[in-house]
Structure 1
């Protein structure tokens, strides 16, 4: 479970500001946190189909990294398997909570067990998840299936 005691975002405008600042590369790097990644993925997965959301996130993260002075290399930057993993987790969460507003989805997500940075390691061995192959392309979990 998350340790958040208050909602990350209390208005849809706050979420849209995050997404827009990410998209246009003006989001300060220190604000591009794990939580910000997940909220951005939530927004894209709520507003686009599965493959469009992944395309927007993939290109957006790669671009954001470059614009803000980061790199996308075999060792750091964009990670394809983690991006798709989180999209699958978040899409399933959205499908189970269809009646919630964007703000309530965000709040409920961060009160769940589905936001831990360690969650991918329940599905993947560390060796596979942090391999160059997993960074470059989607790899299926080797510990626990997502389906």
Structure 2
């Protein structure tokens, strides 16, 4: 696990909403789709878009976005189902525990938390399993510890 962790934080709620809406509309520049943007968009969708079933739709949303910016979703790049689903579980858990109420404050607290770290899924998965083709293509249960649930 890495020890240095300095996420890029957000100043305004508007910037986070723009990421969520940009993901949905495939209207973000590819370089804007960072780790922090993934988590910000997930939190935004979970809290502000009850019309979207994140569990059912997240794979298609991210795959479609990747393809819209020239990306490929295959065995070695693009959408990763197990990592995405681990973070969705983590964001939900974070939301159930946080005292923050504003969108930017919540996202920034998430990004500063253990659940916001890039290596957070490796607390539950071995590197070998998490970065396998099977885990990329579909959800695989963790082999080290169960994902947190509410």
Q: Please, what TM-score do these two structures have when normalized by structure 2? A: 0.86
Greater mean alpha carbon deviation, residues 63-72 or residues 94-103: 94-103
SS of 2:87's partner is: helix
Residue 85 of structure 1 deviates from its aligned partner by 0.4
Matching residue of 1:3:
6
Distance 1:33 1:99 in 2: 23
Who is 1:30 aligned against?
31
1:62/1:78 contact within 8 Å kept: yes
Q: Deviations over 1:81-125 (max 9, x none)?
A: 111100000000001126612121112112212211111112111
Task: Find the residue that maps to 1:139 and give its secondary structure.
Answer: coil
Q: How many residues align?
A: 144
Distance 1:127 1:94 in 2: 29
Task: After superposition, give the CA deviation of every residue in 1:35-58 in whole Å (9 maximum; x if it has no partner).
Answer: 101101111122356x81123321
Runs (5+) with no aligned partner, structure 2:
none
Q: CA deviation at 1:2?
A: 4.2
Query: TM-score w.r.t. structure 1 length?
Result: 0.87
Matches within 5 A, 1:58-73: 58-73=59-74
| 1:42-121 pair list within 5 angstroms | 42-47=43-48, 52-97=53-98, 100-121=101-122
Contact 1:12–1:103 under 8 Å retained in 2: yes
Mapped partners of 1:33, 1:66: distance in 2: 16
Q: Note the residue ranges of structure 1 that are not aligned, 5 or more in a row.
A: none
